[in-house]
Amino acid sequence: MRSSGASGGAGVAISLFSGAGGLDLGVETAGYTVRAAVERHTEASLTMEKNFPSLGGPVIKADILDVPTEDLMRAAGLKGKARPDLLVGGPPCTPFSKSGFWLEWKRAGLDPDASLLQAYTRVLREARPRKFILENVYALTYNNLASRTAYERLLREIDEAGYDYTAKVLNAADYGVPQARPRLFVIGVEKGETVPDHPVATHGGRWERRATGVVDRPHVTTAEAFDGLVTTPEPEEVLRGQYASLLGEVPPGDNYLHFTAERGYPEPKFEWRSRFWSFLLKLDPERPSPTIQAQPGPNVGPFHWENRRLRVPEAKRLFTFPDEFEFVGSRANAQYMLGNSVPPLLAQRVAEAVRDA
């Protein structure tokens, strides 16, 4: 299958931590050609190969820490003094993700995956791309020991590599994605060039008790995203276990708090704020989806308002992957790849802003 809009008019891109290619799909739609990609997850690398004919060869299936920059340049077909036009990538967010901060060793910055930020800046320094896009979880900007130290080091290394940059947290829903998914984007150019601005929001609405985006064009809702989509039941969509029977009572857009004394439930089943916010969380058809995780627990949503897990075609719509985009492997693998991906539409808007700088 050919990825949407891949014309290559903006130049050659190298992709790190490619995953299933959400960021890369947006980059190609903006006119770049992804010629080389690195991804250690087997199903994700196979998914990239299946959907990106622009690649100069197979995805480099290895840990980026073991991949010399010259191997990336060779895979992209860049010889001599040739340089990539764009470097893109989102180092795994495990050490800094909001959902992982209940682990003290992660809060203290002891997760070895934190070093993957340095893998990105190493390639940036050695490959010398004309422009770059780095994506990560917005919790990397939090004012705590783990995040602050890692973030300050990242920005310092970008500067030392010879690049000017700007950083901003963007909510995917503000750019037409039917999912509230805040992500950090650091974008930049070689020193002396015009630093790009982040893209201007195209939509707006409520997110975490505040207004974001623009007021005159509402966020795309889940019902709008699913419009016209025909799906078939999946065996894994049935919720099982101790709390499965409760899901049917949860109103759309609500979660386990529905069963607390504070909400007036006659025989409370949970203490107030005793569970993670997405426990028994159900989609609201009139709003964007909340953030979809890569590895949710057995009772962690968002669930469909029809009281089941989301089907893969539905999840693709909520991330703005094309309907024809094919994920390799099981449903659990597809969930993992989707939950770790950048929504292609958001990636496209960022790549267009970088391209036009």
Other CB atoms within a 10 A radius of the CB of residue 44 amount to 26
Q: How far apart are alpha carbons 96 and 200 in whole angstroms?
A: 26
Q: How far apart are alpha carbons 115 and 119 in whole angstroms?
A: 7
Q: Which token pair is 186?
A: 């650091």
Other CB atoms within a 10 A radius of the CB of residue 154 amount to 22
Query: For 220, which DSSP code?
Result: P
Q: How many residues does the chain have?
A: 357
Pairing of strands 182-190, 131-137: antiparallel
Which of these is catalytic: 93, 140, 170, 247?
93
Active site residue 98: no
What residues pair up with 137 in beta bridges, in sequence order? Answer: 183
Helix (H, G, I), strand (E, B) or coil at 206: strand
Residue labelled with tokens 């509402």 = 218
Query: For 268, which DSSP code?
Result: -
Helix (H, G, I), strand (E, B) or coil at 151: helix
| Residues acting as catalytic residues | 93
